[in-house]
Amino acid sequence: MNLTVAAIGTDVGKTVISAILCQAFKADYWKPVQAGDLQHSDTDKVKELVSFPAFQTHAETYRLTQPMSPHAAAQIDGIHILPTDFSKPDTQGRPLMTELAGGLMVPLSSTYLTIDLIQDLGDPVVLVINSYLGSINHSLLSLELLRQRNISLFGVIFNGKTNPQSRDIILQYSGVRVMADIPHAAALNRDFVKTHAKNIAQRLIISDI
């Protein structure tokens, strides 16, 4: 199945989680907007972490030079991001993991937000949550926004060091499904990705990891 990997904010681990999900679902990877780090993009990082033989990545729709909000990075690069430019790549029937940039309300242009792109893509969302001061608020607001927009939530993944009190209250108020708790990686490599992909596959009863 196709899934969209979103997050409650920036730098919460979407790329690592995307790699794990690609491994678990035997899925292709696509990041529609890459802002900054073009010499070692998120696509490059996922290529290094996913190890099943048929894995493929797809070119970004927009590659922006500056590591900032896409709407601002696009202005600097003299580009106008258009909703009509986004088209899911042809995966030849394989599942697709789409990794977004930043949080749900990140602007791609003055009239188009990341949440709008999610709706246009039409795939269920995996929301990545990281524990930091303010993460409860950001998590519950993100989950509420998905509900308001009638966007299907496949589940949430807690990434990195988890605060049990934060985790419990988020789940108490939201009632969402937890797909996995992924610890901080002392060594981020293919073995780490394979181990946690296998755990997710067993939990969700996905075969052929």
Q: Write down the pLDDT at residue 92.
A: 93
List the one residue out of 24, 32, 13, 8 whose CA is nearest residue 139: 8
Alpha helices for the chain (secondary structure H): 14-25, 42-49, 70-77, 114-121, 135-148, 164-174, 190-204
| Torsion angles phi and psi, residue 12, rounded to 5 | -110, 0
Whole-angstrom Cα distance, residue 23 to residue 48? 12
Mean pLDDT, rounded, of the chain: 95
For the chain, the domains span: 3-204
Alpha-carbon distance values, 194 to 21, 24, 30, 149, 197 (Å): 10, 8, 19, 33, 5
Q: What is the mean pLDDT of residues 114-118?
A: 98
Predicted confidence (pLDDT) at residue 205 exceeds the cutoff of 80: no
133 pLDDT more than 70: yes
Q: 10 Å Cβ neighbour count for 193?
A: 25
Task: Say if CB 31 and CB 99 are below 8 A apart.
Answer: yes
Q: Give the count of alpha carbons within 13 A of 196, CB side only.
A: 25
Q: What is the mean pLDDT of residues 113-142?
A: 97
What CATH number was assigned to the domain covering residues 3-204?
A: 3.40.50.300
Under the banding of pLDDT at 50, 70 and 90, the label for residue 209 is very low
Q: pLDDT-based confidence at 171, cuts 50/70/90? A: very high
- Of 31, 45, 161, 198, the catalytic one is 31
Cβ burial of 161 (10 Å; 0-12, 13-18, 19+) is: exposed
Q: How far apart are CA 173 and CA 53, in angstroms?
A: 41
For the question of residue 14 being annotated catalytic, the response is: no
Residue pLDDT, tens place only, 19-66: 999 999 999 999 999 999 999 999 999 999 999 999 999 999 999 999
